[in-house]
C-alpha cells in the first residue's frame, strides 16, 4: 500500500536531517512516522522542501523524499496525508489530483489549528478529507469543538479523528516517568501552599 505524506509548510529536510540538526516537531514527526510506516511494510513517499545545502531528494531508510519542484503529476497513492494544511485538497494545488484519487485522505494537524482551518469541518463532512490525525484526547476535543470562525460540534466530528503519537522514539530508558510526575506534582503543591 502506497502512502504519500505532503508537507507544504515545513522547513527544508530529508530523511537524515534529524541526525545533523534539530527540526520542528511537525517535520520531525513526518520523518519518524514515515520510517515506522516503512518498517510495517508500507511504501512511503514524503513530498516536501528537501533541496538545499544540507538536504536532498532521495531514499532514506526506505522512505522516498521528493522535493515539491520534482513532483510528478502521474504519481499516485492509496493514502494521502497532508501535514498541517488543507491546501493540497484545493483546486489550485499541484497535489489535488493525487489527493482526490487516493482511497483515503487525511489532514495531520500537529497543532490546534492548520492552514485552511476554517474549511476543515466542511471538507470532512463533504468527503474531501476522510480523517484528521491529532496527538491526544485534548487535541481531538479542542479541534472538534473550537470556534475559529465556525463553531464546530464534537459529536458530529469525533468519529473522523484518530490519535497518532508522531512516530516518537523512546531514547532514554533510565527515566522513570512515574517519579517525574510525582516530583512535578510535589513542586506544584509546594508552590500552591507557598
Instruction: Please give the grid coordinates belonging to residue 145.
Output: 469543538
pLDDT tens by residue, 126-159: 999 999 998 888 888 888 888 877 777 777 788 8
This prediction's pTM? 0.83
Does the CA dihedral 53-55-57-61 come out positive or negative? positive
Q: Is the pLDDT of residue 120 over 90?
A: no
Per-residue pLDDT of 161-187, as tens digits, reads 887 766 566 555 665 656 555 556 666
Structural domains in the chain (count): 1
Q: Phi and psi (nearest 5°) for 126? A: -95, 0
CATH of the domain at 115: 3.40.50
The pLDDT assigned to 188 comes to 61
Res 25 pLDDT > 90? no
What's the rounded Cα separation, in Å, for the pair 27 and 58?
Answer: 17
User: What range defines the domain where residue 95 resides?
Assistant: 2-193
How far is the C-alpha of 70 from the C-alpha of 57, rounded, in Å?
A: 9
- Cα separation, 46 vs 66, in Å, equals 6
Amino acid at each position: 500500500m502506497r502512502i504519500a505524506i505532503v508537507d507544504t509548510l515545513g522547513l527544508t529536510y530529508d530523511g537524515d536531517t534529524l541526525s545533523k540538526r534539530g527540526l520542528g516537531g511537525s517535520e520531525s514527526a513526518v520523518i519518524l512516522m514515515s520510517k515506522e510506516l516503512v518498517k510495517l511494510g508500507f511504501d512511503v513517499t514524503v513530498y516536501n522542501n528537501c533541496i538545499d545545502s544540507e538536504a536532498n531528494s532521495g531514499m532514506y531508510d526506505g522512505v522516498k523524499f521528493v522535493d515539491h519542484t520534482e513532483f510528478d503529476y502521474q504519481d499516485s497513492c492509496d493514502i494521502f496525508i497532508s501535514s498541517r494544511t488543507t491546501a493540497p485538497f484545493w483546486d489550485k494545488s499541484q497535489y489535488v489530483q493525487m489527493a482526490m484519487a487516493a482511497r483515503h485522505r487525511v489532514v495531520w494537524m500537529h497543532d490546534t489549528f492548520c492552514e485552511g482551518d476554517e474549511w476543515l469541518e466542511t471538507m470532512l463532512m463533504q468527503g474531501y478529507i476522510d480523517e484528521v490525525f491529532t496527538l491526544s484526547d485534548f487535541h481531538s476535543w479542542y479541534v472538534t469543538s473550537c470556534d475559529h470562525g465556525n463553531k464546530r460540534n464534537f459529536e458530529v466530528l469525533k468519529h473522523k479523528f484518530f490519535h497518532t503519537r508522531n512516530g516518537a522514539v523512546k531514547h532514554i530508558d533510565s527515566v522513570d516517568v512515574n517519579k517525574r510526575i510525582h516530583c512535578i506534582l510535589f513542586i506544584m503543591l509546594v508552590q500552591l501552599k507557598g
